[in-house]
Structure 1
Amino acid sequence: MAKQRSKKQKTKTRSRTKKTSQTSEQLTSLVLTLLNANVTKAFTPRQMLRQFSLSDRASKAALPEVLQALESGGKIRELQHGKYQSTKKPEYILGQVDYVNPRFAFIISDELEEDIKVDSDSLMNAWDGDTVKVLSYGPGYSSEHGADRRPEGEVVEVVKRGRDEFVGRVEMSARYGFVIPDYRKLHEDIYVRLDDLNGASHGDKVIVKVTEWPKDDRNAVGKIINVLGKAGEHQAEMHSIMAEFGLPFDFPDHVEQEAEKMKAGITKKEIAKRRDFRNITTFTIDPEDAKDFDDALSIQKLDNGLWEIGVHIADVTHYLQLNTALEEEAERRATSVYLVDRVIPMLPEKLSNELCSLRPEEEKLTFSAVFEMDDEGQVKKEWFGRTVIYSDRRFTYEEAQERLETQKGDFAEEVIQLNTLAKKIRDERFAKGAINFETTEVRFKLDEKGRPIEVVPKVRKDAHKLIEEFMLLANKKVAEFAFNYKGRKEKNTFVYRVHDYPDAEKVRDFAEFAQRFGYKIQTSDKDIPFSMNKLMAAVEGKPEQDILQSIAIRTMAKAKYTTEASGHFGLAFKHYSHFTSPIRRYPDVMTHRLLAHYLNGGNSPEAESYEKLCEHSSEMEKRAADAERASVKYKQVEYMAQREQHTFAGIVSGVTEWGVYVEMVDSKCEGMVRMADMKDDYYEFDAKNFRIIGKRRKRIIALGDKVNVKVTNTDLDRRTIDLEFVR
């Protein structure tokens, strides 16, 4: 539990090393650094000298004169009892708590260039995600080094709690219970009275709602509102992850009922309104386990010698009408979520897997981008509009790849031609500066009880890239059409997918890191894409490939949705949208509606409501990605729990002041070697060079190093894997 910090603890600690006498100028700097780093505190001259670890006569004699000069200059003031305090006004910042470990948190704020570090006993019982008012001291003070780089502070008020419901495991005693939270950034248990257990027993996974927040040394108090099952059981753990990230378990009854009332048939009247592609060769290519088929491709050779390629997308907005329960639920969810064993869909199954899904040998309503292109993949003509299709074949990626490799089988000629065009489009995209990141991913094969039994690598082949290129083309061309609608006489409201240039400092840091492996990165904005692609080609198949690709991706900015057409750096597109997955992404639904509006000659609507929905969609996308990672991480820990005391080859994937992260080569599972467990030496953290250094033996362990590790412990509740280095 968090305890009130003593005044002695709150003042920055001094070194026991005695220093030689200081000049007046040096003393002036020391005094200002100390007092400005502790603006709410006051110090006597004697206390200052102790902080500076100075005891020589010269320093004692010089200090009163230094203090008088600083007071005359208005930098400090003298209080009662001969104490001095900085005249600098306390700086209060509003920010959000990122509680990285039990010892300290960072306060993140748009007002700050750098996060404020706050020790755990200066948090006023704030929890991760809370909005707080923090007193910033400025750069932290160290008697060894004066001003440290990172600003420090203390929380003076918890303005708003981030959440009040948490997932965890119940532990019981005779008179009360505790919930131990799963969330790794929550570092204390929640007390539960026996009357508030709601039927939960020892070892259950539950959702607990906080009813009394922690105060002084007392735990938070809560009541259990949902019992998910026994800890360690597959369903209970997946439901725990869903609850942790606020994901829905089911659709509300009234939403399901609204979906079930929808009719499956397509009327002749509806077909008459649309361009008819039913007699043109059309097929889908999707993962083997897919049920919601968003997109299909059609292909035919025209009399003018050009290829007509149709990118046909499920016409979700034909069924999903505004001001309905279905629409409100889709807007709220904003995205489908793909956990390790299940899909949490944006739309009910009646729509996602039946009415909208482009299933084979069924007539379906679509919204299409149709291109006439030459043999070089150059688009000569484009058309957008509502269509009706008949899918002749449902290919898995493996089946389509087989057509490409053997050149045999049904529709082999069409698949091969599409791939030929896709490669031309892809080559041109990279020539214009698109970045080619090819990350190595794995998935877990689960047994009938949901336990991971095998690691299966995800391999991206030409069949995947074929679909990707035509989806990118459709998304780009739709965005260009909307941007240039009506000759750009006014700003046309539209939903764009944007990706900013990477932060220059991050790029420089990455370039320094890559140089350790002998690779040179050009860091100017115009050179970054080509330099990155050159690097990705150079590292292919080498031991450092995964770590360099991973850090390169982390160096990039995050893509988001917005109504501002600021371009997509990673794809090298001036205008880009998401149009091709309306079954699983709400921004695509907005894109369909706006595109239809413009195709009907409509004027640009107000952007404000769309911008809010873009922000919501970006937030939900991040939440979905975090939940997906959490489900994979759980299965990684579960997989490694069966392999404790086994040794694995790994790559150092992260270095922090509290430990070294290692990713195991074969399984891609990541664990940590804690600094406290490294008994062979005392290691110091070298943040600038992404490494730790042994103080006595000078052993260096750095990001990207190849190492061998043994799995010593696994914690399924916290989803952590403990490792130790093996020589």
Structure 2
Amino acid sequence: MEREELLAYMREKTYKPLTAEELVETLNIADVKSFLKLLRELEAEGAIVLTRKNKYGLPEKMGLLSGRVQGHPKGFGFLIPDAPHMSDVFISPEDLNGAMHNDRVLLRLNKTLTAEAKPEGEVIRILSRANERIVGIFERSKRYGFVIPDEKRISLDVFISAEDANGAKNGDKVVVEITRWPEKRRNPEGRIVEILGKTGAPGVDVLSIVRKYQLPEDFPREVLAEAEQIPEVVTADSLEGRRDLRDVRMVTIDGADAKDLDDAVSLRILENGNYQLGVHIADVGYYVREGTALDKEAYKRGTSVYLVDRVIPMLPPKLSNGICSLNAGVDRLAMSALMEINLRGEVVKYDIFPSVIHIDERMTYENVRKILMDKDPELMERYAELVEDFQLMEKLARLLRNKRLARGAIDFDFPESKVILDEHGKPVEIVKRPRTISEIIIEEFMLCANETVAQHMYLLEAPFVYRVHEEPDPEDIVELNNFLHSFGYHIKMTDAEIHPRAFQNIVSKVQGRPEERVINTVLLRSMKHARYAPECLGHFGLAAQYYCHFTSPIRRYPDLVIHRVIREYLEKGKLKPQRKAKLEKLMPAYAEQSSVREKAAEEAERESVDLKKVEYMERHLGDTFEGTISSITSFGMFVELDNTVEGLVHISTLTDDYYQFTEKQLALLGQHTRKMYKIGDRVVVQVSQVNTADRQIDFELIGLAGS
């Protein structure tokens, strides 16, 4: 019996919890061993529950929820339920019952007193532990010590006995292995297994992040051995069944420092006046076959991780920077999507097929921008053959973007920054990364390909991994509107449903206004996090019915998975029932693992950048900068500098008056002077304190800019 069949049976209204023996008898199970294994697997992941009377039932029918704990530095936590339609559940410190940040648990919902009250619950079972090893700072006393976790959402220090310190000194950054999990009123215990170095020593900071997020630095021997067997050039036998596009003019457009080039683009005008857009993606699936050591390692990693000073790739460099990378001037294998697009921006015809391609030029975002925006004479001459192509690309990208925005897609434009490091890893500059027409060209072309492929595979009813983004919860919209009303804005809802256009309307209204950054941030936080799923649930933010990630198989596992599925359907037309059933069973695991690893990668990347930003500001203690008030709270105001660094001006440092927080105006108002500070005001601040351990920067206000 398959997983979904069993769960569907248990969801029936007439089902009452049964023992394993009773289930075997009722369902006429022939392969008892496999069925018992399935029960254990479902129980381990929290899909079913084994009661004290050894009977199996569904958690939701017992007032239980399965999900992942999100800890808080103050000791409490929240359950992020597996069921996407469920809202988060508050867990008080005494109800965590030994559960830690990121643990998977079963939670019993407590009855709320009123309908408006937020749900609360108690952890009754820990399904799996997420923190077998923790990174932190060792604090030693004579007879024992503690490790204070770097991850602030783990609120308990880890007790270390003298014999388990393994030579660690006070202030060392260490990795501790948990030997005893926490219980009520009892800290976790552990032993130190690695000393990373003195806190603040060169390289220790980023290495701590690598260990904290369990990012694998080296590839196993068998994975490298498999990679070595792959030829460094395209061979004649690999061309069988491929369309030869080597005479089609195409380019890659990426950042100047990119080495793993996933995607190339081509564009021409057809005789009927329509565009023919070609999106050509590295055919990684040809080299990384299902079930190989390379595939298993890629699944485990889930994604490449781009830290501030290094890349931890999903695939060995021989593939990621070599034979799979669409380097200019050499033949490469690709999966191509040719799309005919009319003058209204609609894909009217398309073809998806394996190909062999030859990249004419490796372009950078900066050079394409200079050609299109600055009309740089030197670059216009150097790339004379391609200038018309780029101009055509700009025209099509704007057409696609306008069509996407017209249907209600949300277009946030948050400023991005890059930290420039010296040869010792020290930050020397923070520069804003602009989003220019060259980035928009690639963004729109990739979105178009992703939607086209997702719709194609959905209509084939193929087992697949989609990129999904569900609607926000109605309660979150109520909270959002309470905030927006302070600025005179409102998100409209119809019968508890919301269209992404309602969000985009607000984004458009605040564009260029002082409150733009804070409102866009709050809008983003009110929405759900995009994730991978085996079901096509649509993408709210893009206002897209069908969406997947097809365009980056070198650095994202779900892209690699769907490339292989696409090839199978292209080669066989229709899968045998047994093969289709096997793929359908694999897709939920692929989606879950990819979502988990993506989240870890995002947090690690963000933390490494924030770390270097704080380190950069530490060298500017006492210096003054201009910035913009980005948000106001009861304890002070946050100021964002022009280099995207944000710090706090605490209300206690405003000594020229007593300032009160006015919630209605979201401002700080002086009692005597009636001086007001509000979001969007330009101010001059001095860097007064920098805490690299907590990634916190404190400013003191000098005054309004220009005064």
Please report the TM-score for the alignment, with normalisation by the length of structure 2: 0.79
Superimposed CA distance per residue, residues 476-497 of structure 1 (whole angstroms, 9 cap, x where no aligned partner): 1111211223xxxxx3322211
Once the 2 structures are TM-superposed, how far is the Cα of residue 275 of structure 1 from its aligned partner?
0.8
Deviations 1:111-131 (A, max 9, x none): 97563352x467556543446
How is 1:171-250 mapped onto 2 (pairs within 5 angstroms)? 171-214=139-182, 219-250=187-218
1:444 and 2:416 are equivalent in the alignment:
no
The answer for the alignment partner of 1:288 in structure 2 is 256
1:574 aligns with one of 532, 545, 551? 545
The answer on 1:590 being equivalent to 2:566 is no
Quickly say closer, same or farther: Cα 1:160–1:427, change in 2 above 3 A: closer
SS in structure 2 at match of 1:624: helix
Question: 1:327 — aligned with what?
Answer: 295
- Please name the residue that 1:116 is paired with: 90
Is residue 102 of structure 1 aligned with residue 78 of structure 2?
Answer: no
Deviates more, 1:173-182 or 1:286-295: 173-182
Cα offset, 1:333, TM superposition: 1.1
Measured against aligned partners, the alpha-carbon deviations of 1:37-82 in whole angstroms (never above 9, x if no partner) come to: xxxxxxxxxxxxxxxxxxxxxxxxxxxxxxxxxxxxxxxxxxxxxx
Give the one of 625, 629, 633 matched to 1:651: 629
Distance 2:217 2:169 in 1: 22
Match of 2:528 among 550, 557, 563: 557
Q: Distance in 1 between matches of 2:353 and 2:163?
A: 61
Judge conservation of contact 2:629–2:678 (CA < 8 Å) in 1: no
C-alpha change, 1:380 and 1:703, in structure 2 (3 Å) is same
Spell out, residue by residue over 1:240-284, the C-alpha distance to the aligned partner (whole angstroms, 9 max, x if none): 111111111211122112112211232334324211111121111
1:458 to 433, 442, 445: 433
* Cross-structure match for 2:101: 128
Conserved in 1, the CA contact under 8 Å of 2:454 and 2:548? yes
- Contact 2:419 2:427 survives alignment (8 Å): yes
Cα pair 1:97 1:128 within 8 Å, conserved: yes
Match of 2:430, SS state, is strand
Quote the Cα distance in structure 1 between the aligned partners of 2:172 and 2:253. 42
Look up the match of 1:720.
696
Q: Following the alignment from structure 2 to structure 1, what is the Cα–Cα distance between the partners of residues 119 and 676?
A: 28
Candidates 469, 492, 498, aligned match of 2:444: 469
Q: Are residue 417 (structure 1) and residue 392 (structure 2) matched?
A: yes
**Inter-partner Cα distance in structure 1 for 2:103 and 2:280:** 45
| Structure 2 counterpart of 1:609, one-letter code | L
1:529 aligns with 2:500: yes
Q: Give 1:346's match in structure 2, choosing from 303, 314, 317.
A: 314
More displaced, 506-515 or 400-409?
506-515
Partner amino acid for 1:667? N
Question: Which residue, out of 488, 509, 515, partners 1:538?
Answer: 509
Quote the Cα distance in structure 2 between the aligned partners of 1:108 and 1:280.
48
Aligned to 2:49: none
CA separation of 1:538/1:470 partners in 2, compared to 1, >3 Å: closer, same or farther? same
Instruction: Indicate if the aligned counterparts of 1:264 and 1:355 stay in contact, CA closer than 8 A.
Output: yes
- Whole-angstrom CA distance in 2 between matches of 1:711 and 1:624: 30
Aligned to 2:643: 667
The alpha-carbon distance between structure 1 residues 176 and 261, as it changes in their structure 2 partners (threshold 3 A), is: same
| SS of the residue 2:521 aligns to | helix
- Hey, what's the Cα distance between the residues in 2 that align with 1:630 and 1:387? 39
Instruction: Give yes or no for contact 1:547–1:651 (8 Å, CA) kept in 2.
Output: no
The question of 1:388 aligning with 2:356 is answered yes
Report the CA distance between 1:724 and its aligned residue: 5.9
CA distance in 1, matches of 2:80, 2:677: 29
Partner of 1:259: 227
Partner secondary structure for residue 528 of structure 2: coil
What amino acid is aligned across from residue 73 of structure 2 in structure 1? N
User: Which piece of structure 1 moves more, 555-564 or 525-534?
Assistant: 525-534
Task: From the superposition, tell whether residues 114 and 668 of structure 1 become closer, same or farther in structure 2 (CA, over 3 Å).
Answer: same
**Cross-structure match for 1:624:** 601
For residue 251 of structure 2, give the secondary structure of its aligned residue in structure 1: strand
Which stretch shifts more, 641-650 or 669-678?
669-678
Contact 1:377 1:422 in 2 (8 A): no
The structural deviation recorded for 1:448 is: 1.7
What residue is the counterpart of 2:131 in the other structure?
163
Write the distance in 1 (CA, Å) between the matches of 2:138 and 2:337. Answer: 54
CA distance in 2, matches of 1:228, 1:555: 38
Question: Contact 2:267/2:276 (CA < 8 Å) preserved in 1?
Answer: yes
- What residue number does 1:497 align with? 467
Distance 1:507 1:168, change over 3 A: same
Give the whole-Å Cα distance in 2 for the aligned partners of 1:148 and 1:508: 12
Cα deviation for residue 580 of structure 1 reads 0.8
Match of 1:361 among 306, 310, 329: 329
| TM-score for the superposition, normalised by structure 1 | 0.77
How far has the Cα of 1:588 moved from its partner?
A: 0.8
Q: How much has 1:332 moved relative to structure 2?
A: 1.1
Assess, with a 3 A threshold, how the Cα gap between structure 1 residues 526 and 251 changes in structure 2: closer, same or farther. Answer: same
| TM-aligned CA distance change 1:542 to 1:216, over 3 Å | closer
Paired letter, 1:99 = G
Q: Does 1:634 align with 2:611?
A: yes
With 640-649 and 455-464 compared, the bigger mean Cα shift is at 640-649
Instruction: Judge conservation of contact 1:521–1:528 (CA < 8 Å) in 2.
Output: no
Please say which of residues 544-553 and 375-384 is displaced more in the overlay: 375-384
CA contact (8 A) 2:109 2:122 kept: yes
2:19 is aligned to: none
SS at structure 2 position matched to 1:232: coil
Stretch deviating more after TM superposition (605-614 or 177-186): 177-186
Q: Is the 8 A contact 2:659 2:668 kept in 1?
A: no
Shift of 1:614: 0.9
| CA apart distance, 1:705 | 7.3
Q: Which amino acid aligns with 1:668?
A: T
The C-alpha deviation readout for 1:562-591, integer Å capped at 9, x for no partner, is 121222222222111111110011111111
Given that 1:652 and 1:707 are in contact with CA atoms closer than 8 Å, whether structure 2 keeps it comes out as no
CA distance in 2, matches of 1:308, 1:153: 55
Partner of 1:370: 338
In structure 2, distance between residues paired with 1:494 and 1:329: 20
Q: Which amino acid aligns with 2:308?
A: V
Q: CA RMSD in A?
A: 3.7
Higher Rg = 1
Shift of 1:519: 3.7
Look up the equivalent residue of 2:508 and give its one-letter code: A
Distance 1:223 1:373, change over 3 A: same
Closer, same or farther in 2 for the Cα pair 1:108/1:557, shift >3 Å?
closer
1:612 pairs with one of 584, 589, 596 = 589
User: Contact conserved, 1:179 with 1:208, CA < 8 A, in 2?
Assistant: yes
The 3 A distance-change label for structure 1 pair 639 and 163 is same
Q: What are the Cα deviations for residues 183-214 of structure 1, in whole angstroms up to 9, with x where unaligned?
A: 11233433333433334333322111122345
SS for the counterpart of 2:203 is helix
Match of 1:478 in 2: 453
Distance in 1 (CA, whole Å) between partners of 2:341 and 2:221 is 47
Q: Once the two structures are aligned, what percentage of the paired residues are identical?
A: 39
1:263 aligned counterpart, secondary structure: coil
- Aligned residue for 2:487, secondary structure, equals coil
Q: Distance in 1 between matches of 2:82 and 2:662?
A: 28
* Cα deviation digits, residues 691-721 of structure 1 (max 9, x gap): 8999999999887777766544333223333
Output one character per residue of 1:359-394: Cα deviation in whole Å (capped at 9) or x when no partner.
010011111001234555443431110111111100
Number of residue pairs matched by the alignment: 624
* Unpaired runs of at least 5, structure 1: 1-89, 141-145, 486-490
State the distance in 2 between where 1:711 and 1:289 align: 32
